[in-house]
Amino acid sequence: MSDEREQARVRVDALAPQHQARAAEWAARLGLPQGGEADFALQLGDEGLQLVDLSPQAPGPVRVDFVEGAAAHRRQFGGGAGQMIAKAVGVQPGIRPQVLDATAGLGRDAFVLASLGCEMDLIERQPLVAALLEDGLARACDDAEVAAIAARMHLHTGNAIELMQGWQGEAPQVIYLDPMFPHRDKSALVKKEMRLFRPLVGDDLDAPALLAAALALATHRVVVKRPRKAPIIEGTKPSYALEGKSSRYDIYPKKALSKG
């Protein structure tokens, strides 16, 4: 963990009195103070949990919302099984692989795959990001339209390498990795989140070990999402890649997915 992340101060705030008790629960669970000087605030309000950078001219808060906004638009108009991520993990007629997203982040890619019918396990190691994701999944489970999708998403918090090495139960068919990288994505949303999370998360300098653990556990394939012009992860070379405008998917096949 970098010194920058060690020095980032985070507090928990309730945005209204009725959220005070739940905010206190989050503070106790995450080992964070309520009130006082801080660089970031984890805020609980009527719309759920959100993380905000308290510095001047910082981007707005980030929260996980699978019900409305970008997630809803992509679910309704995103291209379904024709999306590149679906092709990368092996979604085909009659085939919906069981997928482990070992770098879940805010869960967007996992939600897309779950909306297509894939059973998803998600691992997120940064506790604040995992808290946002847990809160978003809980709210999604209360919505009639997306509850069935959220029910296919199972969150694990912890170090992905360690969890994969000690995986309990049936091994995932496909493991999906999107390690933190100095992204040059120009979308305002991604830029905002990168600015917010980089001091807390940093880059995934252990990506080679992450890939090695994934290759040891997955039964059928590993998929790594990268910026389009980024180098491959050091170690085993991918067999092929699917390339889009801003990103690509490096594919490491082990055996063919089949129906049933």
Give residue-wise pLDDT tens across range 208-259.
Answer: 999 999 999 999 999 999 999 999 999 999 999 999 898 999 999 999 998 8
Q: Are residues 124 and 192 in the same domain?
A: yes
- The SS3 assignment for 213 reads helix
Residue 109 among known ligand-binding residues: yes
Is 74 marked within a binding site? no
On the 0-12 / 13-18 / 19+ scale of CB atoms within 10 A, 29 is exposed
Which among 66, 73, 26 is positioned nearest to 45, based on CA atoms? 26
Q: Within this chain, do residues 45 and 76 fall inside the same structural domain, yes or no?
A: no
The mean pLDDT of the chain is 88
SS3 245: coil
Residue spans of alpha helices (H) in the chain: 3-7, 20-30, 69-77, 84-89, 108-115, 127-141, 147-150, 160-165, 188-201, 207-217
Give the pLDDT band of residue 82 (cuts 50, 70, 90): confident
Query: pLDDT grade, residue 113 (50/70/90)?
Result: very high
Taking CA atoms, 18 is separated from 24, 44, 51, 189, in Å, by: 11, 10, 19, 30
Q: Are residues 106 and 16 in the same domain?
A: no
- Residues 33 and 122 occupy one common structural domain: no
119 is in an annotated binding site: no
Span between the terminal Cα atoms of the chain, in Å: 43
Q: Are residues 104 and 232 in the same domain?
A: yes
Residues 40 and 99 in one domain: no
On whether 124 is known to bind a ligand per the annotation, the reply is: yes
CATH number of the domain where residue 237 is located: 3.40.50.150
CB 249 within 8 A of CB 85: yes
Which position has the token pair 């999708």? 149
**In-domain check, residue 216:** yes
Q: Is residue 40 domain-shared with residue 90, that is, in the same domain?
A: no
Let me know whether 182 and 147 are in one domain: yes
Question: Same structural domain for residues 28 and 78?
Answer: no
Same domain membership, residue 161 and residue 228: yes
Same domain, residue pair 85 and 39: no
Residues 223, 174 contacting (CB under 8 angstroms): yes
Q: Are 129 and 149 a contacting pair, CB within 8 Å?
A: no
Place of tokens 């989140």: 193
Is 259 within the bounds of a domain? Answer: no
* 185 labeled part of a ligand binding site: no
Tell me the pTM: 0.90
Give the whole-angstrom CA distance, residue 163 versus residue 23.
Answer: 28
At residue 86, the pLDDT reads 95
* Count of domains forming the chain: 2
Same domain? 124 vs 240: yes
